[in-house]
Structure 1
């Protein structure tokens, strides 16, 4: 158990216990984010308005937030592979921002990374082509040096890509009835119930971690009545830095999809470890039980945190969502055995191997460079990949279009999530061993703490020098502080 896991557990079991115990005294209704269904077709440009808002998380107090067409967070966009989505992203938040399409396989010039800045009062109008298998993806701020605060305040939403296979599958697909999107976040509130975000050298080391769990912008636990049959939960860990361990109150989790789409078959597992930025889809059988709950524990070691919960008088895992069955019939089906035809990853297809070391232990010289290159580290030292903090004017790697590569990632301290833009990949090893079965499909996130994590990746879209892709730690404060690099594909 490392220091970060202990501190995360202490937060959950200290101030967080009181906050969450009070919240769990009654179930709030599960908020359903507004659906923007673009599958019937698009005949005009699609406005996405980024603006300040005021939002009550359930504390009874309005907090100053950002939102995308709403006071906090954005819509769930649903579209089909093969469509091109003409967005008009207008910036009304009063500071430079961007909007990155996390998980989409798209060219670098519409990726929404830090090179596609939107000045205050200006508009960015990308035509975003969807050319990938069905997947639950998301979008969020990716402003150089400001990603963490802007995303924390609410600049995030979900984009669901459908394809012919997903539409014809015998799975729950009725949004807000038996198909739910759950945006899981940890948030901090002051004594008046207002959202807070404060940074220090220690916070930069771990990334910002709040003590209170929210679901779709509302204090957990939340509840929802659902029809009899299968229920689909699309899970997004939208925390800045916190890993989440998920389980069910009754029975195992039935995982059907990861970041990049369907698995080959349904995977039964007692827990899922979700890093910041990861997505999973699970099925809950509400035909065989009248009530079941999704449980969330802060941190990466479920067994240790459960024991600490008993030691300190905490309640163990937190209830995020309780589903209650009604008499109405929904998707009456069995858990699917076969989902997608995925060949095993073939490392022999790789023509290039690249090594990346994520570094937290850097000296004063690098801290000065990081500041000069507009990274934001507050009072902390710089962070780097392969010895250098992020520099917007430096291309770190050059890949060839259509090549298959092996990327090997290691760290010098603690557990980090690693994300690559513009693609999905297959995990060969995670922390020096095979990935869990639920992470054996298409991914765009991998985490690493011990040994190497290795992924097999192919780049099918161009990213020129003026609009390169990013690779970075998805602890957002680490990204802002320089633990990021950029690469071209040509």
Structure 2
């Protein structure tokens, strides 16, 4: 455990022991089903997404000021098929400049929705987004330079499910809201009036925003859902700003079938999985084995250590209770094979690049960073000694080349994300990744030693619309821990 982890664990443990903060939630609500826009059978005209100022009740009776995308909070689940091109009209009605980034999509830089594709207030951005990749769970969220964290926290985030011929024909649960559920996990803080709160402090800039209340699909956890007897599919997104989540099942192992970029070769059983902000995993739950089960979430990621356990800071919460409704499920046999996926071959790489994520910069650099649009209080963060600068290209990649990217940090645990691609993890924190993270990914954890990924970029990103690479603790991204690169 590093210095920041030690300080956070001990202080959280003491606060919890003193009784001034409660991680537990009371009462159980029905699982909200996020509205689905299902485009599998075809697209009729342009697809309207409206970013709006709204109010939203998270289940405590208070109307919180929020952002929504065609909803009072969050965006729809958009279900599409490989080979389609999605003609979006995205209208910005939130009263401030924003963007909408397609996290996980393999698309050219000019439709990626990064900080260079700003949408002014009351303006409409109309990208035609090609869907070329295999079945996978992706998402979209604000990527407004210097304001990503607050806009995403307030609700500018949604899910995109890509299907292909193989996933549609697979013997897997696929009836949305019956045996196939999308779960958006977040953490929030509420003020004394029960309204969602987001306050930037020096600690928040340093560690990222971490709330004390677990939210599932916009409702305070725990939530519950009746399901058929058989296999139930949970497609899970960690949409927290900064919090790593430890996921497990109340009964039996957690069975993972897919990661960020698609299916694993076969199901992987684990006692628990660690999800960073921005990561996605798909899980199968066998309801024939247990009449009831529950998805449990550890808000410390399960890595709080001895002191967190001693002071009660490592508590696990029930996110979702599943209860059999007695009906027979459509799928009842755990699959043996899911995808053909060979082991990554590092010898294919012709270029190796190294990146160090920097937590602390000097006062002169902080002044420059502020002038460059980074929002970080009195400090600054960066990569390879430089905070983000919108008109500086940090790396130039040749289209079609296979590369090794090596990432290290000078303090604490970070999630690292690369735009425009999926990659394979060679090492994570100096060791092989866990079995459930050995498929296609666009997120890797970085803390101890080097994390290395094998990556190839197949789509163009020019200097006027480059790709980003960054820490996915959103306050760190806003603070300058981000760079940009072209692919030509």
Query: What TM bracket, shorter-length normalisation?
Result: over 0.9
Matched residues in 2 for 1:124 and 1:16: separation? 48
Matched residues in 2 for 1:187 and 1:9: separation? 21
Partner of 1:434: 432
Offset of residue 337 of structure 1: 1.5
CA RMSD of aligned residues (A): 1.6
Q: Residue 320 of structure 1 aligns to a residue in which SS?
A: strand
Q: Residue 167 of structure 1 aligns to a residue in which SS?
A: helix
Q: TM-score, normalised by structure 2?
A: 0.97
CA displacement 1:389-435 (0-9 Å, x = unmatched):
00000000010111100000000000000000000000000000000
Q: Residue 170 of structure 1 aligns to a residue in which SS?
A: coil
Matched residues in 2 for 1:113 and 1:425: separation? 19
1:51 aligns with 2:52: yes
Q: Residue 343 of structure 1 aligns to a residue in which SS?
A: coil
1:344 aligns with 2:350: no
Q: Residue 455 of structure 1 aligns to a residue in which SS?
A: strand
Aligned pair in 2 of structure 1 residues 188, 301: CA closer, same or farther (>3 Å)? same
1:185 aligns with 2:183: no
Q: Retained in 1: the 8 A contact 2:421–2:456?
A: yes
Partner of 1:41: 42
Matched residues in 2 for 1:488 and 1:469: separation? 6
CA displacement 1:336-386 (0-9 Å, x = unmatched):
11110011101000010000000012111110110010111123x100101
Aligned pair in 2 of structure 1 residues 236, 11: CA closer, same or farther (>3 Å)? farther
Write out aligned runs for 1:108-127 (5 A): 108-127=109-128
Offset of residue 67 of structure 1: 0.4
Write out aligned runs for 1:457-476 (5 A): 457-476=455-474
Write out aligned runs for 1:46-445 (5 A): 46-302=47-303, 304=305, 308-309=308-309, 311-313=310-312, 316-379=315-378, 381-445=379-443
Q: Retained in 1: the 8 A contact 2:299–2:315?
A: no
Q: TM-score, normalised by structure 1?
A: 0.96
Q: Retained in 2: the 8 A contact 1:16–1:211?
A: no
Aligned pair in 2 of structure 1 residues 174, 17: CA closer, same or farther (>3 Å)? farther
Partner of 2:450: 452
Matched residues in 2 for 1:17 and 1:67: separation? 32
Q: Residue 36 of structure 1 aligns to a residue in which SS?
A: strand
Q: Residue 202 of structure 1 aligns to a residue in which SS?
A: helix
Matched residues in 2 for 1:449 and 1:407: separation? 15
Offset of residue 331 of structure 1: 2.4
Q: Residue 409 of structure 1 aligns to a residue in which SS?
A: strand
Q: Retained in 1: the 8 A contact 2:255–2:268?
A: yes
Q: Retained in 2: the 8 A contact 1:17–1:314?
A: no
Matched residues in 1 for 2:308 and 2:246: separation? 15
Aligned pair in 2 of structure 1 residues 4, 226: CA closer, same or farther (>3 Å)? farther
Matched residues in 2 for 1:11 and 1:101: separation? 34
Q: Retained in 2: the 8 A contact 1:5–1:300?
A: no
Q: Retained in 1: the 8 A contact 2:370–2:376?
A: yes
Offset of residue 59 of structure 1: 1.5
Matched residues in 2 for 1:16 and 1:425: separation? 44
Matched residues in 1 for 2:374 and 2:444: separation? 23
Matched residues in 2 for 1:187 and 1:164: separation? 38
Structure 2: 5+ residue runs without aligned partners? Answer: none
Q: Retained in 2: the 8 A contact 1:228–1:332?
A: no
Matched residues in 1 for 2:4 and 2:165: separation? 43
CA displacement 1:163-188 (0-9 Å, x = unmatched):
01101111000001100000000100
Q: Retained in 1: the 8 A contact 2:358–2:382?
A: yes
Matched residues in 2 for 1:332 and 1:341: separation? 21
Q: Retained in 1: the 8 A contact 2:37–2:78?
A: yes
Aligned pair in 2 of structure 1 residues 142, 255: CA closer, same or farther (>3 Å)? same
Structure 1: 5+ residue runs without aligned partners? Answer: none
Offset of residue 329 of structure 1: 0.9
Matched length: 485
